[in-house]
Amino acid sequence: MLKGKIALITGATSGIGKATAFAFAKEGCNLILTGRRTERLTEVGEEIKKRFKTDYIALPLDVRDRQAVNAAINGLPEFWQSIDILVNNAGLARGLSKIHEGDVDDWEQMIDTNIKGLLYATRAVVPGMVKRGRGDVVNIGSIAGHEVYPGGNVYCATKHAVDALTKGLRIDLVDTPIRVSSVDPGMVETEFSIVRFKGDVERAKNVYKGFQPLTAEDIAETILFIVTRPPHVQIADVIIFPTAQASGMIVHRAD
Ligand code: NDP
Ligand code: 8X3
C-alpha cells in the first residue's frame, strides 16, 4: 500500500522518526528524511536504500527555522514534491523543573520545535496535498498532551498544543480526502530522556527502570497501521502505553 509513495518524516535521525523510516521503507515507500544531524540522516538513508531498495533524500534542517523549512521543501526536485505522507515527529523535552525555577531557553526550544516547527512543516507540505487531492498527516503528540505531570509544565503545554493543532487541521481539511491523525505515546525508550536531561545518561536510564517501556518500533508500527487504512478510514488519535503504565503518572515498577 505504500509502494512508490513519498513520506516526509521530521526528526528521522533517532528514535520514533528513524524507526518509522525503516517501517515505511520496508513497505516500499520513498523517504524524505529531515533532522539537524546530517551524518545520521545519510546513515539512515543509505541503510534503508541497501536493505529495502527504496530511495531517499536527506534534508538537513532545523524545524525551528521557518525559512530553512520552506526553502528545503519548495526546493525539492520535482519527483519528491508529491509528498503523500507527512509525519510531524521532530520534538523534544528540555528539563523537568518547576515553572518558577524553569530555564526560559529550554521553554523556547520546546515551544519553537514542538509547536512552531510542526506548524512550519505542515504549512509547507499540506497545500500540495490539497492540490493533489490526497495525503496523510500524522502528528506525534504524547500522553503529555492529555495529562500534566510535575515538572512537565511547558513540555505538556506544547503537546496539548499538538493535540489542538491536530484537531484543528482535521476540521480545516474535512472537505478534502486528506486524513489527519495523531499518535500519543506514554513512555518510549529512545534518546528522549537523554535530551531532556541534557546528556545525563544515568538519569535517563532510571526513567525506564523496573518495567518494560515501549520501543520506537512499537510506535512506528502504529503509524504504519494508520497510513495503510483504506481511504475512508481516518484514525483520529491513538494513545499507547507500555503495559506497566496506566496514566502519565502511574507506572508499576518491579522492586
Ligand atoms: P529522540 O530524541 O530519539 O528523537 C527526536 C528526533 O527529533 C531526532 O531525530 C531529532 O533530530 C529531532 N529533532 C529535535 N529537535 C529538532 C529540530 N529543532 N529540528 C529538526 N529535528 C529535530 O526522541 P523520540 O523519538 O522519543 O521523540 C520523537 C517524538 O516523540 C517527539 O515529538 C517526542 O516529543 C514524542 N514522544 C516521545 C515519547 C517518549 O517517551 N520517547 C513519548 C511521547 C511522545 P536531530 O537532533 O538530529 O535534529
Ligand atoms: C513523552 C512521554 O511521559 O515523558 O512525551 O511526557 S512523557
pLDDT tens sequence across 2-23: 999 999 999 999 999 999 999 9
Q: Is 54 in the pocket of ligand 2 (CB under 6 A)?
A: no
Q: Work out which ligand 1 atom sits closest to the CA atom of 88.
A: 32
Average pLDDT of span 13-39: 98
Give the distance (Å) from ligand 2 centre to CA of residue 142: 6
Question: Is 159 designated active site?
Answer: yes
Average pLDDT of span 162-185: 98
Q: Is 54 in the pocket of ligand 1 (CB under 6 A)?
A: no
Is the pLDDT at 50 greater than 80? The verdict is yes
Topology, domain 6-240: Rossmann fold (3.40.50)
Q: For 15-135, where are the alpha helices, taking DSSP H only?
A: 15-26, 38-52, 66-74, 78-81, 104-110, 118-132
Tell me which of 192, 203, 214, 249 to substitute to probe ligand 2's pocket, judged by most ligand atoms within 8 Å of the beta carbon: 192
**Residue 219 identity (one-letter amino acid):** I
* Nearest-ligand number for the alpha carbon of 189: 1
Render pLDDT for 51-105 as a digit per residue (tens, 0 to 9): 999 999 999 999 999 999 999 999 999 999 999 999 999 999 999 999 999 999 9
Higher-pLDDT residue of 60 and 255 is 60
Distance CA 18, CA 121 (A): 17
CA quadruple 72, 119, 214, 7: dihedral, nearest 10: -40
Check: CB of residue 138 under 8 Å from CB of residue 86: yes
Check: CB of residue 31 under 8 Å from CB of residue 7: yes
Which protein residue has the closest C-alpha to ligand 1 atom 18? 62
Which protein residue has the closest C-alpha to ligand 2 atom 5? 142
Distance CA 35, CA 41 (A): 7
Distance CA 161, CA 40 (A): 29
Question: Is 155 designated active site?
Answer: yes
Q: What share of the chain is helix, strand, coil (3-state, %, to 5)?
A: 45, 15, 40
User: Is residue 250 classed exposed, middle or buried when 0-12, 13-18 and 19+ CB atoms within 10 A define those classes?
Assistant: exposed
Which position among 18, 116, 120, 155 bears the catalytic label?
155
Average pLDDT of span 154-175: 99
Among residues of the chain, what percentage have pLDDT more than 90? 99
Give the distance (Å) from ligand 1 centre to CA of residue 190: 9
In the predicted model, what is the mean pLDDT of the chain? 98
* Nearest-ligand number for the alpha carbon of 114: 1
Average pLDDT of span 180-205: 98
Is the pLDDT at 40 greater than 90? The verdict is yes
Q: Work out which ligand 2 atom sits closest to the CA atom of 155.
A: 6
Distance CA 96, CA 85 (A): 33
pLDDT of residue 204: 98
Which position among 3, 131, 159, 209 bears the catalytic label?
159
Q: Is 14 in the pocket of ligand 1 (CB under 6 A)?
A: yes
Is the pLDDT at 255 greater than 90? The verdict is no
